Structures are given as C-alpha cells and as structure tokens.
Amino acid sequence: MNEKTIRALVEAGAVKNVRIIADGALIHVDIITQNGSITATTLKGAIKTWATIDASARWVRNLGIGKMQLEISGGFLDKKDWPYKSSFLSTIQDYMSYTLFFLGRT
C-alpha cells in the first residue's frame, strides 16, 4: 500500500499499530489494521525500504503516527555466541527511545 493510501487510513482512524521491521540491512514498515497487516510500498508496488531506523521512524511520524514498535531480527543478532548481544540491544533501545522522543515533539 502506498503512502497516499496509508495517509487516508490514518485520517480515517483505521490504523491500529505500526511496526518498523529491521531484518538485516533492510528496514520496512508494516501497518496493522483491523483487516490485517499491510506492508508500505512505493508507487510502483515495490516494498518501501530505508537504510536507517530513524529514517523509517521519521517517515511514520510524518504520516501522523506517534507510536510504533520496532522489531530487530536477522544478521548478527541471531548469533547465540555473540558476547555483546545484550549490550547492543540495550544501546539500540536507548537510542530508539531518545530518537522517538524527539520525533514526537512538535
């Protein structure tokens, strides 16, 4: 679903939740409605992707949505023997809290 259609859903109050999904190096956005999950797409129909989490969060914020969930999966986060996994996730959580705080300010 492209940005124009998603904006119409937001204005109609049909959006229940938004998930930013970071899978490896690709980041995309899923919009949750009462009818199910919809992935944000470009006008040509390809899945809309971002290079950074804060760019995707800024795009969601510009749609008029202030609350979103972040899902991180894939890549080095799945390695059980990686010693800095919990530290890294804690840092990401702090970064996202800080970023989303300032994105939510008007």
Average confidence score pLDDT of the chain = 79
Would you state the pLDDT for residue 71? 86
Q: What does the pLDDT look like over 32-81, one tens digit per residue?
A: 999 999 999 999 999 999 988 889 999 999 998 988 888 887 654 555 54
Listing DSSP states for the chain in one string gives --HHHHHHHHHHT-EEEEEEEEETTEEEEEEEETTEEEE-B-TTSSBP-BSSHHHHHHHHHHTT----EEEEESGGGG-TT-TTHHHHHHHHHHHHHHHHHHHH--
Q: Can you give the pTM of this predicted structure?
A: 0.69
| Confidence category of residue 86, pLDDT binned at 50, 70, 90 | low
Q: What does the pLDDT look like over 5-38, one tens digit per residue?
A: 999 999 999 999 999 998 877 899 999 999 999 9
